[in-house]
């Protein structure tokens, strides 16, 4: 599994914690920024991560902004992206099972680290169910 990471300033601390967590579990990842808590524009990083998935540098992305909405909206402008804003494990599981989400987006200002770890674990360990869901996912592109 090739994982790409992105965030804005609101998500920087959690992205850094997540890098250590993913390394401890043996995952490889690429970091598309940002690189500090200095104020930045979330689309710059959401687009970088989305491009990396469309170019097959990565097959899964994980990203943060304060609410999750801005960076999620940015990524979802890309035709090859299905970014899911997830704030609990149930939503994360459904995003993989039913939506074949390829980016997990989380609201950094509204989750604690324990919640984030659980959401990431579920997202990375759940496979797309296919079947009737494939037909629906195939209709998302415009």
Out of 42, 49, 60, 123, the residue judged to bind ligand RB5 by CB under 6 A:
42
Category of 130 on φ-ψ map: left (φ > 0), alpha (ψ -120 to 50) or beta: left
Q: At its nearest, how many Å lie between ligand RB5 and the CB of residue 112?
A: 17
Pick the binder of ligand RB5 from 36, 69, 79, 88 (CB under 6 A): 69
Q: In this complex, which beta carbon is closest to ligand RB5, that of residue 8 or of residue 31?
A: 8
Beta bridge partners of 61: 4, 103
Closest CA to 102 of 134, 141, 73, 60: 60
Token pair, residue 102, equals 């390829």
Calpha distance 18→39 (Å, rounded): 20
Q: CB of 1: closest distance to ligand RB5 in angstroms?
A: 26
Which of positions 8-37 make contact with ligand RB5 (CB under 6 A)? 8, 10
Q: Does residue number 67 form part of the binding site for ligand RB5 (CB under 6 A)?
A: yes
Please identify every residue annotated as catalytic.
98
Query: From CA 132, how far away is CA 140, in angstroms rounded?
Result: 14
Residue 101 touches ligand RB5, criterion: CB under 6 A: no
The residues, any chain, with a CB within 8 Å of residue 139's CB and separated by 6 or more, are: none
- Which of 5, 6, 65, 81 touches ligand RB5 by CB under 6 A? 65
What does the binding site for ligand RB5 look like in residue numbers (CB under 6 A)? Answer: 8, 10, 42, 65-67, 69-70
């Amino acid at each position: 599994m090739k994982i790409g990471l992105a965030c804005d300033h609101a998500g920087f601390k959690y992205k850094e914690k997540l890098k250590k967590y993913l390394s401890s579990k043996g995952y490889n990842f690429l970091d598309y920024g940002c690189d500090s808590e200095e104020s930045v524009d979330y689309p710059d990083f959401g687009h970088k991560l989305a491009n990396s998935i469309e170019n097959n540098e990565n097959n899964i992305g994980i990203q943060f902004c304060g609410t999750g909405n801005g960076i999620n909206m940015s990524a979802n402008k890309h035709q090859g992206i299905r970014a899911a804003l997830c704030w609990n494990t149930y939503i994360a599981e459904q995003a993989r099972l039913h939506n074949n989400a390829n980016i997990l987006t989380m609201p950094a200002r509204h989750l604690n680290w324990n919640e984030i770890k659980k959401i990431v674990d579920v997202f990375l360990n759940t496979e797309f169910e296919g079947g009737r869901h494939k037909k629906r996912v195939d209709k998302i592109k415009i």
